[in-house]
């Protein structure tokens, strides 16, 4: 077999040599996560964001649920009120579940009596909606025929009904709430529903034989198994994994849902990006608990395809708005990049699980890249506005929103931000892994010791890190410190991206004495007899680096990205003298100065230097430029933005002379999806690509802005041009996009 994966079970390396599954019986993965409640952050980067999540994001998301009928749907299902089911999707139930999960994580770290009481009240409404046998999906219980296209006419009729997706998020919320409060109110609801799911789905006679549809039940059932110890939850999660791609019940196999072939036969990541990240996270959970190396070999093949051909430099995944998913290998267009916020979060989940199974730092490298760039770009610094998609280029048509009709991302952000410390450390036996660098104090329990680990650092702006190690008892063990790929000439652990220069050497010292620690799987491994007072100092030089994409990435040819440490930078219009970014190019080797601006965007590192600007007549002049962290763009209003900057004039785009069309404000007049629903009233939104003077290369070119109507086919739609004054228009032409959607 070409792709082998070493799985570390304690100190033993087991390599699969057969194509069939090889089950083991040990109950847990070899490397154990450190609970985020044992890690206490005290930094200027993550701590304010997590506090904003607690005080702003979570309350505002709950208010949106109240406003948009999410809780009303449960109340109607439970007979607590009368009314019509609201919302446009069968999975709207998951919005409260995700926010409850985030609120529970927040409660576990910082108790808030008011929030605790609020959770009790909404859990009461959710519990009331559960049917006697445990079933819980409100649009089905409420017999919302308007949404029958999703769920059909009866329970479990359609694979894309999202009933199991709803259940999965219920389980995750319930486990989080139980662990945070000790209350079983939501856990009992989840267990009752899970018992029903285990009864209904499976390989047995009379059961439904199909996978979960939209994955998350796999991960969630594993969490429920770990809390309850009930083996049937793990077995049902395993069943959903094994049933994927088999079509036992005769349903149409689909790349969109990664259901096109059995997972053991997959080697390319395709379809809906969030579903992929959730599915492969669930597969990793099941494989770790059953010690199934065949599944890990499959996951490795799929991961290598993702990291080597389909990963954006921001850590985002999913290149296409249509299908919210992956395109062909190396299709990484910047302006039309989708990079859904939920997909970046799913990418973190998957990479963390791959690290736990292998102890390989390459997974933590991708995790960190997504964490500092693709994930947190999804939420405003104010905490109350969100991106659904996160492009790497914008002409000013993108802006964060308070909420969405399909509101999966805001809730996902609330639960993820509250749990960031979870990804910092791990243990294996008596050894400790350090994956992330954040000023903090952690109380870590190993196999036979308790260790206080205190980090002092200005990361991600400063690469100097001090780690004080204080074990309860003096003991020999290994402290495994990740040396990031960006500090070793590898932006990502594949040939998809590379730096244009060589990195300065990093250094490590223990108690003031420099050491040459050997690296194993990307970790500087410090083995010694540790005692109170020991201090490790790491210096990761943070130069400004230029990144080049693999030449097969067409949209990045002739362009370079700018990186410093784990942070990707971008040009935003208002930071440039002419408020324009696309007419600029920055040759490789251009000096750049990094300086911290405490008054800008809550305090950020800013890069500045001299760029070159080309006008429509081909004249080039030197102009100053400023770059900000990509994650902070669009916090000062809609604007032009670019991550990949041309390095030569031929790749820059001079500002064309204005035309009548380009002077107009273009609008899409969108009719309500749901009749008479206040949250679905007619809206006017920016129509992309219809007057930007950006000509596509061909009718199938999706690298440039284009307009389409999501979920519409054969309907009459309206585009409007709003002019500042009367004009005479003599001719109108339409350039039609020739493009096939996913099969989902």
Mark whether 93 and 189 lie in a shared domain.
yes
Q: How far apart are CA 263 and CA 618, in angstroms?
A: 53
pLDDT band at 673 (very low <50, low <70, confident <90, very high): very low
Active-site annotation holder among 408, 409, 537, 572: 408
Indicate the residue among 539, 572, 589 that finishes a domain. Answer: 539
Q: Is the pLDDT of residue 371 over 50?
A: yes
Kindly report, residue by residue over 622-634, the tens digit of the pLDDT.
999 999 999 999 9
Question: Percent of the chain at pLDDT above 90?
Answer: 84
CB 719 within 8 A of CB 703: no
Question: 138: Cβ–Cβ under 8 A, 6 or more apart, which residues?
Answer: 73, 74, 76, 77, 85, 92, 93, 129
User: What angle in degrees, to the nearest 10, is found between the helix axes of 163-181 and 94-109?
Assistant: 20
Mark whether 642 and 673 lie in a shared domain.
no
Is 570 marked active-site? no
364 occurs within a structural domain: no
User: What angle in degrees, to the nearest 10, is found between the helix axes of 94-109 and 58-67?
Assistant: 150
293 occurs within a structural domain: no
Kindly report, residue by residue over 117-144, the tens digit of the pLDDT.
999 999 999 999 999 999 999 999 999 9
261 occurs within a structural domain: no
Q: Which of 506, 501, 454, 467 is nearest to 484 (CA)?
A: 506
Mark whether 136 and 232 lie in a shared domain.
yes
Question: 728: Cβ–Cβ under 8 A, 6 or more apart, which residues?
Answer: none
pLDDT band at 27 (very low <50, low <70, confident <90, very high): very low
Kindly report, residue by residue over 51-86, the tens digit of the pLDDT.
999 999 999 999 999 999 999 999 999 999 999 999
Q: How far apart are CA 151 and CA 160, in angstroms?
A: 7
Identify the pLDDT of residue 6.
42
Mark whether 92 and 220 lie in a shared domain.
yes
pLDDT band at 733 (very low <50, low <70, confident <90, very high): confident
Mark whether 186 and 85 lie in a shared domain.
yes
Mean pLDDT value across residues 293-311 = 98
Mark whether 124 and 242 lie in a shared domain.
yes
Identify the pLDDT of residue 17.
26
57 occurs within a structural domain: no
Q: What is the 3-state secondary structure (H, E, C) of 139-206?
A: HHHCCCHHHHHHHCCCCCCCCCCCHHHHHHHHHHHHHHHHHHHCCCHHHHHHHHHHHHHHHHECCCCC
How high does pLDDT run on average in the chain?
92
Mean pLDDT value across residues 605-619 = 97
Mean pLDDT value across residues 291-307 = 97
CB 428 within 8 A of CB 359: yes
39 occurs within a structural domain: no
3-state helix, strand, coil in the chain (%, to 5): 35, 20, 45
Mean pLDDT value across residues 81-110 = 98
Q: Which of 219, 234, 146, 228 is nearest to 187 (CA)?
A: 228
287 occurs within a structural domain: no
Kindly report, residue by residue over 474-493, the tens digit of the pLDDT.
999 999 999 999 999 999 99
Phi, psi of 488 (to 5 degrees): -135, 35
- CA distances to 224, 575, 642, 651 from 571, rounded to whole Å, are 45, 7, 5, 16
Identify the pLDDT of residue 487.
98
pLDDT band at 290 (very low <50, low <70, confident <90, very high): very high
Mark whether 666 and 642 lie in a shared domain.
no
Identify the pLDDT of residue 668.
66
Indicate the residue among 651, 685, 700 that finishes a domain. Answer: 651
Q: Which residues pair with 475 in a beta bridge?
A: 530
Domain coverage including residue 237: 68-248
Max CA separation in the chain (angstroms): 85
Mark whether 112 and 220 lie in a shared domain.
yes
Mark whether 711 and 568 lie in a shared domain.
no
CATH number of the domain residue 532 falls in: 2.60.420
Q: Which residues pair with 464 in a beta bridge?
A: 539
Mean pLDDT value across residues 548-568 = 98
Identify the pLDDT of residue 367.
99
pLDDT band at 736 (very low <50, low <70, confident <90, very high): confident
Mark whether 458 and 584 lie in a shared domain.
no
Mark whether 494 and 450 lie in a shared domain.
yes
21 occurs within a structural domain: no
Count up the domains in the chain and report the number. Answer: 4
pTM of the model: 0.91
Is 139 marked active-site? no
Q: How far apart are CA 678 and CA 674, in angstroms?
A: 9
209 occurs within a structural domain: yes
Mean pLDDT value across residues 467-472 = 99
Identify the pLDDT of residue 671.
53
Mark whether 464 and 564 lie in a shared domain.
no
Q: How far apart are CA 21 and CA 480, in angstroms?
A: 31
Active-site annotation holder among 255, 324, 340, 613: 324
Q: Is the pLDDT of residue 210 over 50?
A: yes
Indicate the residue among 231, 248, 265 that finishes a domain. Answer: 248
Identify the pLDDT of residue 707.
72
């Amino acid at each position: 077999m070409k792709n082998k994966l070493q799985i570390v079970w304690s100190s033993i390396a087991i390599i699969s040599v057969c194509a069939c599954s090889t089950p083991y019986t040990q109950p847990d993965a070899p490397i154990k996560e450190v609970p985020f409640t044992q890690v206490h952050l005290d930094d200027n980067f993550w701590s304010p964001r997590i506090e904003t999540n607690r005080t702003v994001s979570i309350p505002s998301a709950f208010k949106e649920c109240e406003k948009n009928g999410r809780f009303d749907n449960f109340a109607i299902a439970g007979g607590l009120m009368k009314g019509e089911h609201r919302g446009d999707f069968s999975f709207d139930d998951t919005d409260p579940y995700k926010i409850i999960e985030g609120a529970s994580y927040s409660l576990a770290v910082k108790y808030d009596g008011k929030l605790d009481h609020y959770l009790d009240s909404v859990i009461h409404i959710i519990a009331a909606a559960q049917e006697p046998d445990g079933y819980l999906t409100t649009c089905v219980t409420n017999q919302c025929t308007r949404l029958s296209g999703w769920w059909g006419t009866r329970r479990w009729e359609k694979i894309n009904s999202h009933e199991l997706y709803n259940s999965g998020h219920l389980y995750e919320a319930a486990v989080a709430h139980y662990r945070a409060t000790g209350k079983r109110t939501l856990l009992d609801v989840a267990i009752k529903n899970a018992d029903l799911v285990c009864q209904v789905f499976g390989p047995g006679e009379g059961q439904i034989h199909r996978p979960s549809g939209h994955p998350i039940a796999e991960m969630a059932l594993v969490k429920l198994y770990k809390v309850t110890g009930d083996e049937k939850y793990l077995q049902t999660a395993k069943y959903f994994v094994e049933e994927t791609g088999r079509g036992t019940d005769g349903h149409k196999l689909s790349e969109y849902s990664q259901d096109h072939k059995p997972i053991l036969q997959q080697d390319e990541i395709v379809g809906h990006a969030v579903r992929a990240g959730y599915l492969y996270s669930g597969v990793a959970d099941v494989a770790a608990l059953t010690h199934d190396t065949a599944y890990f070999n499959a996951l490795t093949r799929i991961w290598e395809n993702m990291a080597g051909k389909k990963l954006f430099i921001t850590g985002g995944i999913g290149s296409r708005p249509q299908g919210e998913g992956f395109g062909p290998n190396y299709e990484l267009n910047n302006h039309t990049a989708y990079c859904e916020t939920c997909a970046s979060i799913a990418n973190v989940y998957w990479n963390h699980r791959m690290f736990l199974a292998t102890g390989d730092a390459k997974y933590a490298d991708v995790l960190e890249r997504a964490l500092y760039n693709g994930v947190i770009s999804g939420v405003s610094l104010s905490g109350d506005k969100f991106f659904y998609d996160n492009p790497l280029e914008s002409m000013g048509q993108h802006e964060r929103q308070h909420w969405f009709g399909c509101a999966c991302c805001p809730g996902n952000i609330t639960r993820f931000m509250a749990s960031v410390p979870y990804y910092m450390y791990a243990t294996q036996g008596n050894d400790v892994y350090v994956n992330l660098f954040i000023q903090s104090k952690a109380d870590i329990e190993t196999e036979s010791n308790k260790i206080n680990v205190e980090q002092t650092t200005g990361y991600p702006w400063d690469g100097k890190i001090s780690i004080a190690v204080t074990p309860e008892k003096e003991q020999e063990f290994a402290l495994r410190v990740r040396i990031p790929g960006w500090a070793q000439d590898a932006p990502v652990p594949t040939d998809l991206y590379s730096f244009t220069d060589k990195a300065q050497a990093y250094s490590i010292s223990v108690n003031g004495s420099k050491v040459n620690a050997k690296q194993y799987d990307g970790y500087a491994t410090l083995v010694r007899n540790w005692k109170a007072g020991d201090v490790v100092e790491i210096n990761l030089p943070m130069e400004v680096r230029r990144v080049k994409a693999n030449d097969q990435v067409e949209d990045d040819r002739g362009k370079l990205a700018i990186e410093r440490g784990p942070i990707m930078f971008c040009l935003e219009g208002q930071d440039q003298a002419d408020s324009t970014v696309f007419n600029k190019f920055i040759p490789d080797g251009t000096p750049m100065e990094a300086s911290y601006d405490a008054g800008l965007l809550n305090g950020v590192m800013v890069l500045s230097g001299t760029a070159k600007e080309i006008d429509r007549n081909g004249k080039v002049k030197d102009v100053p430029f400023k770059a900000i962290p990509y994650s902070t763009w669009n916090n000062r209003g809609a604007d032009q933005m670019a991550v990949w900057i041309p390095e030569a004039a031929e790749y820059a785009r001079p500002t064309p002379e204005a035309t009548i069309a380009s002077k107009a404000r273009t609008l899409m007049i969108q009719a309500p999806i749901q009749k008479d629903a206040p949250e679905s009233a007619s809206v006017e939104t920016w129509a992309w690509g219809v007057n930007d003077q950006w000509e596509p290369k061909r009718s199938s070119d999706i690298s440039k802005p284009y307009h389409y109507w999501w979920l519409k086919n054969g309907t009459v739609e309206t585009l409007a041009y709003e002019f500042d004054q009367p004009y005479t228009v003599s001719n109108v032409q339409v350039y039609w996009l020739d493009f096939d959607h996913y099969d989902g």
